[in-house]
Amino acid sequence: MTVSAPIIKVENLKKWFPVRTGIRSFFSEQRWVKAVDGVFFDVKPGDSLVIAGESGSGKTTLVRTMLRLIEPTAGSVNFEGEAVFTMIPDDLRLFRRRVQLIFQNPFEALDPRHTVKDLVGEGLVIHEMVSDEEELMKRVLNALEDVRLIPAEDFSRRFPHELSGGQLQRVAIARSLILEPKLVIADEPVSMLDASIRTEIMNLMTDLQKEHNLTYIFITHDLAQARYIGNWLIIMYLGKVMEMGPVEDVLQDPIHPYTQALISHIPIPDPTEERDRIDIPGETPTPIDLPPGCRFRPRCQAVDEYCTDDEPELQQIGPNRWVACHGWEARKEKKH
């Protein structure tokens, strides 16, 4: 995706889960849930990559596999030139400090038995990054001030039940940034928050990226957020990358029918402006025993004779643009 050396590079990444079917499984062919199925991309330092798609598209499984929170079925992930899947425990420990994950639900991610000071400072203690209690407290207070929890000393003494959802997510962000990571992966970090708070948190994350020179991978099912926080966009469906490119290019000129349908449902702030919505019939099916050809074919409004053949591979169709679709050229010519 990029010309300069990437901070993280993902190649042919797969995560297949075996399907348990009871005693019959001993006498039948093994079946698999192909949650992530041959994903390629890379991210350069300072970029913000947004991974979008419907629920069940494999977004969260993708990042959990990248971090080795679950073991991969195939493929490779390289972080700053080092192979993540072959790291020894000491190297993996350092990798986990340099790549931090912000979870979707701060109400479940933070232990209610601990104070904010203990929650934010826990990583420093685990990774032995402070020499004494005074240094620990100083760094915790600085981290809380970075995420705009002021007065920091007052917030440091509180427990999670004493904080609002937006404040809890700020604590979760501080907990990640205090370890001075180079890459932050945010798994739908505003989806559990009130609409009035979401913009505040996204503004905060954008400011922190500039202040700390961070690289982001941002997972969302809301394409309206993609333009706000990202400069690269990946559209996933049933474990596969359907389209990839710069955010503005993909949003302004979507090529894959799935991308076009998702974008057609983005709310428009101008009530006088009209947009033709493209409905996607049915729901995202389970990625077991997928039909031949394109896996989006059963729900696609632009299906043609090519779609029942081999599954389309992700191919580069222009500068910094990739798409996995057999009929993209015909639709492109018809559109222009």
pTM of the model: 0.89
Residues 17 and 61 sit within 8 Å (Cβ to Cβ): no
pLDDT at 81: 92
pLDDT at 154: 96
Q: What is the DSSP string of 29-62?
A: ---EEEEEEEEEEEE-TT-EEEEE--TTSSHHHH
pLDDT at 54: 87
Q: Does residue 144 sit within a domain?
A: no
Phi, psi of 2 (to 5 degrees): -125, 160
Q: Does residue 164 sit within a domain?
A: no
Q: Does residue 141 sit within a domain?
A: no
Q: What is the DSSP string of 239-290?
A: TEEEEEEEHHHHHHS--SHHHHHHHHTS--S-TT---------S-PPPSSSP
- Nearest-angstrom CA–CA distance, 45 and 315: 24
Q: Does residue 244 sit within a domain?
A: yes
- Nearest-angstrom CA–CA distance, 234 and 218: 10
State the pairing for strand pair 183-187/99-102.
parallel
pLDDT at 3: 54
- Nearest-angstrom CA–CA distance, 124 and 50: 28
- Nearest-angstrom CA–CA distance, 1 and 63: 18
CA atoms within 13 A on the CB side of 113: 0
Q: Does residue 131 sit within a domain?
A: no
User: 177: closest CA among 218, 205, 158, 201?
Assistant: 205
pLDDT at 2: 42
| CATH code: domain of residue 285 | 3.40.50.300
Per-residue pLDDT of the chain (336 residues; tens, 9 = 90+): 445 789 999 999 999 998 876 655 556 677 888 999 999 999 999 999 999 988 888 999 999 999 999 999 999 999 999 999 999 999 999 999 999 999 888 888 899 999 999 999 999 999 999 999 999 999 999 999 999 999 999 999 999 999 998 999 999 999 999 999 999 999 988 887 888 888 899 999 999 999 999 999 999 988 888 888 889 999 999 999 999 999 999 999 999 999 998 888 777 776 677 767 777 777 777 778 777 888 888 888 777 777 887 888 899 988 899 999 887 665 555 555
pLDDT at 288: 80
The reply to whether omega before 151 is within 30° of 0 (cis) is yes
pLDDT at 25: 54
Could you read off the pLDDT of 143-155 as tens digits, one per residue? 999 999 999 999 9
pLDDT at 28: 65
User: 53: closest CA among 200, 182, 331, 243?
Assistant: 243
Structure tokens at 254: 């979507």
Q: Does residue 299 sit within a domain?
A: yes
Q: Does residue 103 sit within a domain?
A: no
User: 106: closest CA among 160, 148, 168?
Assistant: 168
The β-bridge partners of 49 are 217, 232
CA atoms within 13 A on the CB side of 110: 32
Residues 57 and 79 sit within 8 Å (Cβ to Cβ): no
Q: What is the domain range of residue 276?
A: 8-92+216-335
Q: What is the DSSP string of 125-152?
A: HHTT--SSHHHHHHHHHHHHHHTT-SSH
Residue 54, judged by CB atoms within 10 A of its CB (0-12, 13-18, 19+), counts as middle
pLDDT at 335: 57
Specify the number of domains making up the chain.
1
pLDDT at 236: 95
User: 116: closest CA among 63, 79, 162?
Assistant: 162
| C-alpha dihedral sign at 121, 111, 189, 86 | positive
Q: Does residue 104 sit within a domain?
A: no
